[in-house]
Chains A and B, each alone.
Chain A
């Protein structure tokens, strides 16, 4: 009922602070110290007298003895002997306990009395010695006469009773020991007998020496020692002991009872009779004053008046504070402040007051004294002994004493009573019941705050400070808690427990929790461990969880520290892969928290406020044609990837058309074979182009087919879709293929999608029909053909690119193997185009594609976070300004003025560019041909494997490694390749820049621009290809900025396509430069090394790797053909193996015809289809994927034979170029 209906704020707590007494103060003189001690002892004495425990225990003892007496008497007459015997035994043990307790109490009483007298004597002698008195304390010992005779009798009776009891106890004990002794003795005898059986000579002598009585000398010897019988208790000794103890702890008989009485009747010596030091001390005391602050829930609510410190070190306040409160108080504290003269105020101590119980109301609350003490150290130059400093009562300074300032505040805290007599107490529901209520009696929480409970040290300190009586049953739980928690008073745990009650809420131990598969699974899932992040329906029982669920995860944990050499053929790369993994993990962890930040746009779709231009556009749209001649793709609504599931996401691949697909060459029939092989080299060269420029179907084409019947097959995540077959070298399919997308582990969150590593393979095949009719006669009645597909080339696009670009639209160069047997390019087409000499550089086949994801996913935004940097602050500011200006004008053009290095620091981008020496071997290859050298260098750079940051760092950031790091890691993305290539070009003396822009399919990327004599060349650093500025097939579609070793130029031209811009950076109207006259280039030092050091190429390792790759690939092909026999044609393989080094030397150009002739000569009667694949070496998986995607293994003609040759060409710094030649051979009938 209390206060439940009251509005909050009506509660009142009355704090009555009546006064303060110092039990020690720096200004205490020695006499004061003794006086305080005396007062304290006297208080103790009074308290003990009041309880009179010794008396209580004596009475109890008497009662117990009586009980034993009466219990023994009926035991003789009645039958239930064992019950009474048992009770008597219990009584006896209790008598023993009580006696011990009583003796201890009596001894304490006596010692206390002795100490009081001793201190009083010391004080008296001190007063005499110093010839003045400081304190009015006076001890009077009142003697109470006792009846000497009765007293002596009682004393004697007590001793006799005790002796007899002890005697009884001891004899019982003796009996017990004798029992033990007998058993032991029997045992020993048995052993002795056994001994005796062995030694018959000693038989008699030994037997005589064993009477049953005690006091025998044991025989020396091995085996069990002969037991010694215990001594019987002697009454005389016992009595002596009891008397000694009694003399120590009890009043002698007839001695008068001493009752000390402490009075304040003494007189203090006036000032003028005191020595100077004492006068100084008294003056110092007068200057001091004290006040108290009342702190409620950690806030000061009021303070007392400042009162001077009296000569007796008592301060009287007598003030009552009424606290109007709303809630149940958390803590109530008084702070004791002392001011000395006018100088300063010091906080002496804090006093924690207990929160009164709800029954304690004003007027009924007793005044309580709460002790406090301070740790301050004070040394004074007068009689005052100081605080926290050693002093001594002896003249020689021995027996030193250190006292701390301490005292007592007498106060009373109570709840006020309202007008209508209802106590103003906050409702009890506001107190947290539970563990607090167990402790509330002791009010530990209210005095040290709830947080104090976490710290047992504080609690124990409080208990000691407030003189908590450990024997008081009401303090039981608290004392137990303290003793359990600290296990001894002084033990303090050396740690801080964050969730100190966690233990109590645990329903099972951690080990059990870990053993349970279900809890483990739940735990891993909530930790978002990748394997379990999206684990659905964790079974309800352990037994339903398969052990293999954890296998992958455990394997990954194990492998983290083990370098797996199985997957990585080459040891160095294994180390690098592991290092990269670690960098990746550390970076990911760093960004994990940042990713949790949401923006409004992540949650709420809101239309932007239209401005004039948008309004204008929308007006313009009204006039737009409903069905324009050249329709544009409309933007779609974006979907956040949070509520997607399997099957929701599809990859749409729109294959539009292709250009310049290689066409078939007439297959040499059996009968034509002699003629073909006898052709001369020159004849062939002269004959081939015109032969193919006439696409008229000739007799050579089987079944009269056209030049080529290409179709496109798209494979993604091992799902395969293909278009219909078109005809001719410039086919137009215009088909949309739909491939399902599955996220790893069914996790469609942004992070997961960003790290999808799958590639989309777009393969172009030629469909060839072969007539396999056995007999010409059947031709009339039916067709019997076999369809074969010949791989022509492929385009590979990583999924991450599609995800980040949202859509990919453009014309791509088809990656066609340098040698495509049986096919040739229609050179005539190229020749027609050849009016521009530069354009012919980009010969090749192209395919126009449009790829997107349905529904459109929102790619992750880069983390909005600032990174630390070692750059000059001014430079960083200039960078921000520059970037802001650029973004304002052309928001779509990228301009990275600062980038992150591998350690996550911001670095100014030009520091990456510096001439660096290419490997000397590359320079020596073509000493007279700078263009060839440049191409070779570009090829070298392109052979370093490509590894996108976005896959590993999920678009969070783009880390730039320096060129030496890049060469050591042997992996990097476009920026690293471009930086290295640009540095090489700079060292070759070319004018070279880094181009930051957009390309297809990569999206935002880095290319390298060089200026030749008359024109500019754009280099793709990852493929090693170069394009002229006006090449329409150049993958670079827009240019954002150029970066040189000493400046950045931002493109401020109207267009950004390389075809339409001017690369002359000296024109400030076209290029906005970072460093200009207003901000001159400060000469930034490069982060690149002085020089790159190259180790020579390791031919032996390359040869070994070559053998291993070949072996693994052959095994794989056999695996992929489980239902067919795979025969290997050794002859052909060796031919191919010899041919591959030639390809490497010529970089795949201009050797095709020689090769074909060679093959034809050697394998004349086989129909041969095959091609060499070329790629940089990173690891085995991409090689296997590439071979698989060509589909060579799909041929299921029974008589097919295969050939596979691998060639690994080593470049400096263990950069490896891998050639794989796969071929299938079918013997012509």
Chain B
């Protein structure tokens, strides 16, 4: 079997949802989940997670730190539908109702290595000012029917969103057998080292 070569490649992602910047909000928690294409399947680790509630630091930065670990491994036959991590941040409003404070999504980095990503977060807007007031009053802000829509392009044209806050993510990405299947994702210098193999390095 090994002689034939691999039929799938593996993508191992670990890292963490490090921190967030939400200047107007406090006591937030976040959820994450992965969205991926048909040819992808998780093999190990957790696809979804929900973090602790964190409060703002008292220093000047006012950052909300979760340090919430992510650790998941995917296998796939096709880079199409590369996994995206979808984040949604929630927190209490003035009346104590949990409302959504932001949605955001980003692709898992393609190349192996350590990557830091800061993604802007957004929330859907109310359709009218009256709606806005009642949704504020009743603590039922407009929400996506499914957070995963932020990873898809379909149907966005009917929505309006407002941007608020940032979340910083750290990814450590390891791939296996990508190159054997003919996909080069590594940075240029790695390509040279691995692609040419040992013989090149030896004195001739």
Q: Do A and B bind each other?
A: yes
User: Within 8 Å of chain B (Cβ to Cβ): is A188?
Assistant: no
Could you tell me if B144 and A538 are in contact, using CB atoms closer than 8 angstroms? no
B76 & A537 in contact (Cβ 8 Å cutoff): yes
Count of interface residues, chain A, beta-carbon cutoff 8 Å: 26
Query: Is the CB–CB distance between B134 and A607 below 8 Å?
Result: yes
Q: Which residue of chain A has its CB nearest to the CB of B147? A: A643
**Contact in complex: B38, A525 (CB < 8 Å):** yes
Given contacts A598-B154, A603-B155, A610-B134, contact A643 B7 (CB under 8 A): no
Q: Quick one: CB contact mask for B1-43 with A, threshold 8 Å, 1 for yes?
A: 0000001110000000000000000000000000000111100
Q: Is the beta-carbon distance between A640 and B138 smaller than 8 angstroms?
A: no
Closest to A541 in B: B7
Q: What 1/0 mask marks residues of chain B from 129 to 143 whose CB sits below 8 Å from any chain A CB?
A: 011001100101011
Contact assessment for B77 and A540 in the assembled complex, using a CB-CB cutoff below 8 Å: yes
A394, CB-defined interface residue at 8 Å: no
Contact at A598–B158, with CB atoms within 8 Å?
yes
Interface digits, B45-63 against A, CB 8 Å rule (1 contact, 0 not)? Answer: 0000000000000000000
Contacts A534-B38, A536-B39, A598-B157 given; does A607 touch B135 at CB 8 Å: yes
Q: A603-B149, A604-B142, A607-B140 are in contact. Are A536 and B131 (CB under 8 A)?
A: no
B124: Cβ under 8 A from any A Cβ: yes
- Chain A: CB-nearest residue to B77: A540
Cβ B140 vs Cβ A604 within 8 A: no
Q: A534-577 interface mask toward B, CB cutoff 8 Å, 1 = contact, 0 = none?
A: 11111111001000000000000000000000000000000000
Cβ B38 vs Cβ A537 within 8 A: yes
**Assembled-state Cα–Cα distance A609/B7 (Å):** 54
With a cutoff of 8 Å between Cβ atoms, the chain B residues found around residue A525 in the complex are 38
A642 neighbours in B (Cβ, 8 Å): 146, 148
A544 to chain B, nearest CB (A): 6
Min CB gap B141→A, angstroms: 8
**Are A599 and B146 in contact, CB atoms less than 8 angstroms apart?**
no
> Looking at chain B, what size class is its interface with the partner chain?
35 or more
Contact with A along B153-181 (1 / 0, CB 8 A): 01111110000000000000000000001
- Closest Cβ of chain A to B91, distance in Å, is 18
B204 interfacial by beta-carbon distance below 8 Å: no
Closest-CB distance, B35 to chain A (whole angstroms): 9
Do A600 and B158 contact each other (CB < 8 Å), given the known contacts A544-B7, A643-B148? yes
Task: Please give the distance in Å from B200's CB to the nearest CB on chain A.
Answer: 27
Kindly state the separation between the CA atoms of A522 and B77 in the bound complex, as whole angstroms: 12
Which A-chain residue is minimally distant from B138 (CB atoms)?
Answer: A607
Partner of A539, one of B7, B9, B135, B142: B7
User: B residues 58-84 with Cβ under 8 Å of A?
Assistant: 76-78, 80
Q: Which residues of B contact A538 (CB under 8 A)?
A: 38-39, 77-78
B83 to chain A, nearest CB (A): 14
A512 close to chain B: CB less than 8 A = no
Cα A245 to Cα B155 with chains together (Å): 78
**Nearest CB of B to A855, in Å:** 12
Q: How far is the CA of A541 from the CA of B157 in the complex (A)?
A: 37
Cβ of A751 to closest chain B Cβ, rounded Å: 14
Q: A606 at interface (Cβ–Cβ under 8 A)?
A: yes
B196 to chain A: which residues have CB within 8 Å?
A: none
B134 A609 Cβ-Cβ under 8 A? yes
B127 at the interface (CB under 8 A from A): yes
Given contacts A536-B38, A537-B41, whether A606 and B131 have CB atoms under 8 Å apart is yes
Bound Cα distance from A534 to B38, whole angstroms = 7
Q: Is B88 an interface residue (CB 8 A)?
A: no
In the bound complex, how far is the Cα of B40 from the Cα of A515, in angstroms? 24
A743 to chain B, nearest CB (A): 15
With A and B bound together, what is the CA distance between A536 and B38 in angstroms?
Answer: 5
Interface string of A583-627 (1 = CB under 8 A from B): 000000000000010111011111101100000000000000000
Most chain-B Cβ atoms within 10 A of its Cβ — which of A525, A534, A538, A540? A540
* Minimum CB–CB distance for A139 against chain B, Å: 69
Q: How far apart sit A665 and B50, CA to CA, in the bound complex (Å)?
A: 63
Do residues A602 and B145 form an inter-chain contact, with CB atoms below 8 A? Answer: yes
B159, chain A: closest CB distance, angstroms: 6
| Inter-chain contact B142/A606, CB cutoff 8 Å | yes
Q: How close is A592's CB to chain B, nearest CB, in angstroms?
A: 14
In the complex with contacts A540-B8, A640-B145, A602-B155 CB distance below 8 A: yes
Query: In this complex, which of A536, A541, A603 has the most chain B Cβ atoms within 10 angstroms of its Cβ?
Result: A603
The distance in angstroms between the C-alpha atoms of A1163 and B181, with both chains bound, is 73
A604-B78 contact given A640-B146, A642-B146, CB 8 Å threshold: no
With A605-B143, A607-B138 known as contacts, the answer to whether A540 contacts B181 (CB < 8 A) is yes
Which interface residue of B9, B134, B143, B155 has the most chain A CB atoms within 10 A?
Answer: B155
Minimum distance in angstroms from B157 CB to a CB of chain A: 7
Can you name the residue of chain B whose Cβ is closest to the Cβ of A610?
B134
Contacts of A598 in B (CB 8 A): 154-155, 157-158
A-side contacts of B140, CB under 8 Å: 606-607
Would A609 and B131 be within 8 Å (CB), given that A536-B38, A604-B142, A604-B144 are in contact?
A: yes
Report the minimum CB–CB distance from B174 to chain A (whole Å): 19
Closest to B126 in A: A606
Tell me which residues across on chain A come within 8 A of B130, comparing CB atoms: 609
Residues of B within 8 A of A544 (CB): 7
Report the minimum CB–CB distance from A549 to chain B (whole Å).
Answer: 14
- Assembled-state Cα–Cα distance A600/B158 (Å): 5
Rounded to whole angstroms, the CA-CA distance of A596 and B127 in the bound complex is 22
Q: How far is the CA of A604 from the CA of B145 in the complex (A)?
A: 5
Q: Which residues of B contact A607 (CB under 8 A)?
A: 131, 134-135, 138, 140
Cβ distance A867 to chain B, nearest Cβ, rounded Å:
24
The CA-CA distance from A596 to B155 in the complex, in Å, is: 8
Please name all residues of chain B whose beta carbon is closer than 8 Å to the beta carbon of A539 when the two chains form the complex.
7, 77
A540 in complex: contacting residue of B7, B148, B157, CB < 8 Å: B7
On chain A, the residues within 8 Å of B148 by CB distance are 642-643
Give the CA-CA distance A537 to B80 in the complex, in Å.
11
Tell me the minimal C-beta distance from A375 to chain B in angstroms: 45
Q: Which residues of A contact B39 (CB under 8 A)?
A: 536-538
CB distance from B148 to the nearest CB of A (A): 6
Residue contact B38 to A605, C-beta cutoff 8 Å: no
Residues on A with C-beta less than 8 A from B134 are 607, 609-610
Additional A-B contact list (6), CB under 8 Å, known A538-B39, A609-B128, A610-B138: A522-B78, A540-B181, A603-B145, A604-B144, A607-B134, A640-B145
Q: Which 9 A-B pairs have the closest CB atoms?
A: A598-B155, A540-B77, A606-B142, A607-B140, A604-B124, A600-B158, A605-B143, A604-B142, A609-B134
Binding site for A on B (CB under 8 A): 7-9, 38-41, 76-78, 80, 124, 126-128, 130-131, 134-135, 138, 140, 142-146, 148-149, 154-159, 181
Q: List 5 A-B contacts (CB under 8 A).
A: A534-B38, A537-B8, A603-B145, A642-B148, A643-B146
